[in-house]
């Protein structure tokens, strides 16, 4: 298995590639940096490749660089290689109607997972705290595995932040006992994930809250706490189906949107 990181010479794509490198290092996978020809500066692309190659050498990750003439060639590359995941960055002002580079990648229907990053802080930053927001106790195994990998790779704390959507009136009528009982239910439903976190010696916490606006609640929660990376997604397309995904539209911190192949 190998990891692919798509680069275009920008500092944003280079930062996204660093996440890919740490992912590859933990799993002992080789990584291929791929540039798809466009209007990007080749000088900046080569500079990025040099920087990333040095970091890969420092981390002990086998790496190579490949240039493709068009996006469609990526499908042939993935078909002929055992690719675990593709990392890519995307613009901050992406909208659903804007056919971005990432949309083109998704339209290829590649047989591999995709990790799309929106970067707020550039460079090889230290990641001490990761937040994994979920609806109720709906946590996919794939998204949990991805969060666990990053937590282990960066030796960071992982917080699972569970949210139940209720009307403002119902929230106002909740008692302390109601909140405590619901938290116990959440912990019970997530008990298998908790066991895995403990087995991997990951420093973690599980928090639960109620809100009439999930996206706003998570955004507020992030603003009050010192997180370095948010992991959201686990959908089959790039259309935002859940309110929590507002984090990816207007990120406050570096945010990874995960799209599994299945």
State whether 42 and 65 are in the same domain: yes
Residue 101 has pLDDT above 80, yes or no: no
Q: What is the mean pLDDT of residues 83-94?
A: 80
State whether 141 and 224 are in the same domain: yes
Nearest Cα to Cα of residue 217 among 143, 258, 166? 166
Q: For the whole model, what pTM was predicted?
A: 0.90
Q: How far is residue 64's CA from residue 71's CA, in Å, rounded to a whole number? A: 18
Please check whether residue 124 lies inside any domain of the structure.
no
Please check whether residue 94 lies inside any domain of the structure.
yes
43: CATH: 3.40.50.620
Residue 244 has pLDDT above 60, yes or no: no
Domains contained in the chain, number: 2
Domain boundary (89, 118, 147) is at 118
Full DSSP string of 11-63: HHHHHHHHHHHHHHHHHT--EEEEEE-SSS-HHHHHHHHHHHHHHHHHHT--E
State whether 140 and 99 are in the same domain: no
Enclosing domain of residue 12: 2-118
Question: What is the model's pLDDT at position 247?
Answer: 67
Residue 94 has pLDDT above 60, yes or no: no
State whether 105 and 81 are in the same domain: yes
State whether 6 and 114 are in the same domain: yes
Q: How far is residue 195's CA from residue 48's CA, in Å, rounded to a whole number? A: 40
Question: What is the model's pLDDT at position 91?
Answer: 65
Domain boundary (118, 151, 179) is at 118
Residue 192 has pLDDT above 70, yes or no: yes
- Do 12 and 119 meet the contact criterion of CB atoms below 8 Å apart? yes
Q: Please report, for residues 19, 106, 232, the alpha-carbon distance to residue 259 in angstroms, rounded to integers and kept in the order given.
A: 16, 9, 9
State whether 114 and 133 are in the same domain: no
State whether 98 and 154 are in the same domain: no
State whether 13 and 85 are in the same domain: yes
State whether 31 and 80 are in the same domain: yes
State whether 33 and 140 are in the same domain: no
In this predicted model, what pLDDT tens digit does every residue of 129-158 receive, in sequence order?
999 999 899 999 999 999 999 999 999 999
Please check whether residue 249 lies inside any domain of the structure.
no
State whether 85 and 187 are in the same domain: no
């Amino acid at each position: 298995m190998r990891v692919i990181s798509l680069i275009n010479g920008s500092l944003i794509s280079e930062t996204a590639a660093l996440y890919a490198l740490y992912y590859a290092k933990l799993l002992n996978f080789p990584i291929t940096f791929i540039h798809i020809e466009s209007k990007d500066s080749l000088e900046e692309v080569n500079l990025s490749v040099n920087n990333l190659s040095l970091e890969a050498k420092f981390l002990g990750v086998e790496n190579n660089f490949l240039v493709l003439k068009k996006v469609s060639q990526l499908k042939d590359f993935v078909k002929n290689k055992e690719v675990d995941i593709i990392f890519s960055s995307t613009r901050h002002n992406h909208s659903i109607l804007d056919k971005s580079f990432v949309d083109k990648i998704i339209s290829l229907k590649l047989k591999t997972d995709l990790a799309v990053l929106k970067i707020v802080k550039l460079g090889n930053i230290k990641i001490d705290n990761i937040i994994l927001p979920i609806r109720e106790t709906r946590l996919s195994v794939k998204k949990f595995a991805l969060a666990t990998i990053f937590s282990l790779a960066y030796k960071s704390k992982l917080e699972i932040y569970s949210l139940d959507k209720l009307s403002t009136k119902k929230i106002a009528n909740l008692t302390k006992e109601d909140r405590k009982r619901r938290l116990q239910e959440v912990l019970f439903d997530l008990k298998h994930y908790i066991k895995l976190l403990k087995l991997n010696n990951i420093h973690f916490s599980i928090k639960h809250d109620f809100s009439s606006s999930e996206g706003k609640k998570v955004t507020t929660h992030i603003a009050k706490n010192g997180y370095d990376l948010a992991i959201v997604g686990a959908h089959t397309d790039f259309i935002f189906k859940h309110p929590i995904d507002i984090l990816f539209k207007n990120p406050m911190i570096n945010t990874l949107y995960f799209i599994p192949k299945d």
